[in-house]
Structure 1
Amino acid sequence: MDKNRLGSFLFFMEQSLNIKRILFIVLLLCEMAFLVGAYWPGAMSIDSVSQYEQAVTHTYEDWHPPIMAWVWSCFILVYKGPIPMLLFHTFMFFGATALLCLMYSKKNRISWIWLILPLLPFIAGLSGVLWKDIGMAYAFFFAFALFHLGIHIQRQSYYSYLLFFLALCFFLYAFWVRDNAIMASAPIVYYLVTIGFPNWKKIYIFGVSCIILICLFCIGRGINKYMLDAKSECPTMHMKIDEIAATSRIVGKNLFFKESTVHEFPVEELPIVHLDKGWKFYSIVQLTDNLLKENWYSVMRNEPWAYLQAKLRLFNNFSRFPIKTPRCVSYFVMHKNNYGFTFEKGRASDILYSYVNTTKNILPILFLPIFWIPLAGILFLYVLKRNDLLGIEVKMLSSSAVCYYLGYFIVTPTPDYRFIYWIVLATTVATFLLLCDRYSYTSSEFSNI
């Protein structure tokens, strides 16, 4: 092994093992124990149970991208149940937090701020829920921290390449674990290409980024279809139904096809799940996937302005604007299942639940996109003219948050907090990076690239 490389790595480790950093590690371990204990063995909704069933049977569906179920099936070989997935999510989140905390601990006056991250109510509230939304956010975060460390050590060393490879693995997991992760990934890929090829023209960077995103998207679809043999479903079915119902309300007539059992319903009896929480409505529409898609297209063609108004109304509700009560900011539930999994709230669960929901009641805006999206925009504009590494990283995270949010206008889900979890985490990390840069012992933590 190259002595210079080994010496560089050993020096880095020696610098890492000081009293301050050991204290930080101990405190992070205590925080991790608290959050894992609060959510032990892992909270599971009906979606989580469905993915676990796929992991057990190896019969996958694309209603949820099957990559999470496939990873879970690998964990099952070691230990059955929700615990391995809970620990996997915890490892990614606290691994990323620890890396950033230790990297800033020597050169920064407020490196302790990273110790606060896991305990922030808008982060901790869903930290132990086994949803792909949470897994995607943590995988993106861990990939970012690994990449950040790889550049910090030495850009062309063996260890930096190893870290870049690991970062790529977790980035790919995040990219493939949610269908709309491509929206969050677009700015990340763009700025990674910018870092790799700083002298390229922006049009070339944009073109290469688009090619990379298209290739990754196609590879993911190929894995789902040909390797995992995932059964084709219609994951946007309920969103299409909501949009037809919302447009029907605006034009004042029922726009569902006559083949649907709700075709004769009065307009006022067509519930919009986003607004009315009428989940049972989906099961009585009874349109095949093809007919529903055709019905949806016909509404867009025949009532374009009313459809646009309906989309804006649904997106506005998703954004909780004006300020509305945030939904599902914590989730201490184990959905009914055939595996005997149960969830019993303990003392730690009660403390966390009270802490998160009290914060929600006092400052609901902290759980709403109408706070985080403007903040992300402000951060982006603040570093717009900075071309050093920190400026690029802040632009990467803040623009990823905004693009991910805008993607929900295309496919608008119900306004659950979990759907903006990455937005919140990315914006918070970007804010912390700027604060650490502001209170660095040196004039600049990062050199120009």
Structure 2
Amino acid sequence: MSGTVDRWTTALRRAWKDGTAWPWCLAVLAAACGYAVATVFHPGYLSADSNTQLGQALGDEPVNDWHPPVMALAWRILIAITGDFSTMAALQAAVLWGTLWVLARLVWRRTGSRGLSLVVLAVGLAPHIMNLTGVVWKDVHLAYALLAVFAIALTVRDLPEGRVRTRWALLVLGLLFLTYAALVRKNGIPAAIPVFVLLVLAAWPAPGRRRWLAATGVFVAVVTGGSAAVNAATAPLATRVYAVIPVDDLVHVLTPEQVRTAAERAGAETDLRDRMVAAAVTCRDRNITSDGYLQCFPQRRPFDVTYLDRHADVVVRMWTQQMPKHWKGYAEYRGRVFTKLLFRSNQIFWNGTRVNAGARLHPEVRAQPLNDTLRFALQNYVTGFARDLPMLFQGWFWLGVSLVLVLRRRWAGPYTRELRLLGASSLLYVLAYLPTAPESNYRYVYWPALSGTVALVLVATAFAARRRTAAAGAPDTRPAALPAGRTPGTAPEPAAPAGPREDTGAAV
């Protein structure tokens, strides 16, 4: 027995010394952190949106496309498998920490530094990331799905040429995550496009025109087919929620009398005309500067999600007839809302114990109350950083980070192209809110905050590895990439012809 223990001890010491055990240590740390975060948020913090989607997932109310049917369907499947609605929040934490483990492992393989790999894991504990990890929001789902695709793309890029099955399995998994991201957030398509490009370039570093067309066709077909499958499974009520944007523009740009005239000219029914005028008056009297449909538009109880579907054509016709005549006021209004989003993001911390006025948390949620001790500890942690480092929670900072990522031609380390595409995803996502932002809300910049933080950490680890290599007197000041399949501290393998996975990620 003592001989067996000695052999195990010797093997463990050898594994620790040569680094083969470190990825498993990272996995244990990631699992522990993910479990701790899920415990803090248990059974999940719900907003009005997710409270509604929980009711749809449980079958208490019909599914509608005001919120993404794919999220209600995914939640319904989770509940059917586990019997517990809280598994959705736990799954969010698992996806985030699993993705961070993959990225930390890649950094370890590239740099051989335990400390730098731990820095990557620490992203999940950052206050501006952890604050929404357990809030069941479509914005959080979009962010974690896109980050998962990013990690998958970097993994595929570093696979050796012989791992064909693994490469295709990962590509399929990345495509599924990307499809979910495109379906779970209506304005997520701009953010998904650069990440799709990143995934394609990971598989084929120099794809030709035919391969680009084939990959694009497959992506479009999968997204279209996925949308059709979700609609067939949920039969969502049509809401044409996009009409809230022209309603917002009309009631804030035009005067109440101009709104009345515009409604009559567009052929609006009396009910719609009167509600539009009342919304314009209410927004002006109460100084409500955005989100006019939900904050100012007269609503009946219970809330009729199909009202806009019946009147969307008229609302859009009003907008197309009036906004060209009032283009200056429109530009000023959209500039006002967008700058508020960038500089005054609200809802930095979601309490989780309430939803919007006039609504109550689902009985299933009220039956599993939050842990107030952990909730207040998390709130103190987040709001303290919001006070001392407010830029972490503001859109202008992450917009600036994305611009720097896109415009700089080369970064230290092997991921220049990937970092630029990640920055492009964030940049497009933020800019897409310029004509569409309904209000100022931190969750609208959560993906730029997450992707920007990961990008900054990867840049910092590459610079640190370069300085460490230079200090050691190595002739090459850049951190040398370890061949795929090797771990730090192991003996080098015989030289093999360089394949596309050894692409250095030059700027494109």
Fold shared, TM-score > 0.5 on shorter chain = yes
Q: Are the equivalent residues in 2 in contact too, given 1:175–1:181 (CA < 8 A)?
A: yes
Match of 2:418 in 1: 393
Tell me, what secondary structure is at the counterpart of 1:438?
helix
- State the shift of 1:362 in Å: 2.0
Partner of 2:169: 162
Asked if the contact 1:402–1:423 (Cα under 8 Å) also holds between the matched residues in 2, the reply is yes
Determine the structure 1 residue equivalent to 2:373: 347
Q: Which has the larger radius of gyration?
A: 2
Name the CA distance, whole Å, in 1 between partners of 2:72 and 2:106.
33
Per the alignment, residue 395 of structure 2 pairs with 369
RMSD: 3.2
CA 1:387–1:204 in 2, change beyond 3 Å: closer, same or farther? farther
Contact 1:238 1:282 in 2 (8 A): no
- Which of residues 440, 443, 447 in structure 1 aligns to 2:479? 443
What residue in structure 1 maps to residue 405 of structure 2?
379
Q: Secondary structure at the match of 1:444?
A: coil
Query: Is residue 137 of structure 2 the alignment partner of residue 123 of structure 1?
Result: no
Report the Cα offset of residue 34 of structure 1.
Answer: 2.6
User: Residue 335 of structure 2 corresponds to which residue in structure 1?
Assistant: 312
Task: Compute the displacement of 1:105 (Å).
Answer: 2.5
Q: Distance in 1 between matches of 2:427 and 2:414?
A: 20
Superposed CA deviations along residues 226-279 of structure 1, whole A, max 9, x for unmatched, are 453222112234332221122125x99546625322455596643475558894
Q: Which amino acid aligns with 2:397?
A: F
User: What is the match of residue 291 of structure 1?
Assistant: 314
Paired residues of 1:62 and 1:224 also in contact (CA < 8 A):
no
**1:425 counterpart = 2:450:** yes
Shift of 1:367: 0.7
**TM-score, scaled relative to structure 1:** 0.84
List per-residue Cα deviations over 1:115-156 (Å, max 9, x = no partner). Answer: 210111110111100011101111111222123223323245
In the superposition, relative to structure 1, how do residues 270 and 253 fare at CA in structure 2: closer, same or farther (>3 Å)?
Answer: farther
In structure 1, C-alpha distance between the alignment counterparts of 2:221 and 2:340, rounded to whole Å: 33
1:327 aligns with: 346
| Letter paired with 2:193 | A
Distance 1:264 1:175 in 2: 35
Deviates more, 1:389-398 or 1:155-164: 155-164
Matched, 1:261 2:274: yes
Deviation at 1:424, TM superposition (A): 0.7
Q: 1:177 aligns with which of 181, 184, 189?
A: 184
1:281 and 2:296 are equivalent in the alignment: yes
Tell which deviates more after alignment, 362-371 or 126-135: 362-371
Deviation for aligned residue 1:437 = 2.3
Q: Percent identity?
A: 21
Q: How many residues align?
A: 429
* 1:238 alignment partner, one of 236, 244, 248: 244
The alpha-carbon deviation at position 208 of structure 1 amounts to 6.7
Aligned to 1:189: 196
The amino acid that maps onto 1:138 is Y
User: 1:70-122 CA distances to partner (integer Å, 9 max, x unpaired)?
Assistant: 11111111233431111211111011011111232353432221121011111
Are the structure 2 counterparts of residues 331 and 269 from structure 1 closer, same or farther at C-alpha, using a change threshold of 3 Å? closer
Correspondence list, 1:74-89, <5 A: 74-89=77-92
Q: 59, 63, 66: which is aligned to 2:66?
A: 63
1:311 Cα deviation from its structure 2 partner? 1.9
Letter matched to residue 329 of structure 1? I
| More moved, 407-416 vs 279-288 | 279-288
Aligned-residue offset at 1:33 = 2.8
User: For the residues of structure 2 that align with 1:212 and 1:308, how far apart are their CA atoms?
Assistant: 38
- TM-score relative to the length of structure 2: 0.75
Deviations 1:358-383 (A, max 9, x none): 1112222211111011111112222x
Against the structure 1 CA distance between its residues 332 and 205, is the aligned structure 2 distance closer, same or farther, given a 3 Å change threshold?
Answer: farther
- What amino acid maps onto 1:101 in structure 2? A
Which residue does 1:6 correspond to in 2? Answer: none
Aligned-partner Cα distance in 2 for 1:92–1:425: 13
> Which is worse superposed, 24-33 or 127-136?
24-33
Residue 261 of structure 1 aligns to a residue whose secondary structure is: helix
State the partner residue of 1:9.
Answer: none
Letter in 2 for 1:148: L
User: Is the contact between residue 190 and residue 205 of structure 1 (CA under 8 Å) also seen in structure 2?
Assistant: no
Q: Deviations over 1:135-181 (max 9, x none)?
A: 11111112221232233232451223222222222121112111111
Identify the range of structure 1 (428-437 vs 222-231) with the bigger mean alpha-carbon deviation.
222-231
TM-superposed deviation, 1:420 = 0.9
2:154 is aligned to: 148
Aligned to 1:3: none
Whether the 8 Å CA contact 1:175–1:185 is kept in 2: the answer is: yes
Name 2:427's counterpart in structure 1: 402
Classify 1:233/1:97 alpha carbon distance in 2 versus 1 (closer, same or farther; 3 Å): same
Partner Cα distance (2:321, 2:36) in 1: 52
Q: Does structure 2 conserve the Cα–Cα contact (< 8 Å) formed by 1:387 and 1:448?
A: no
Partner of 2:39: 37
- Which residues of structure 1 form unaligned runs of 5+? 1-13
Q: Which runs of 5+ in 2 are unaligned?
A: 1-14, 265-269, 301-306, 470-477, 482-501
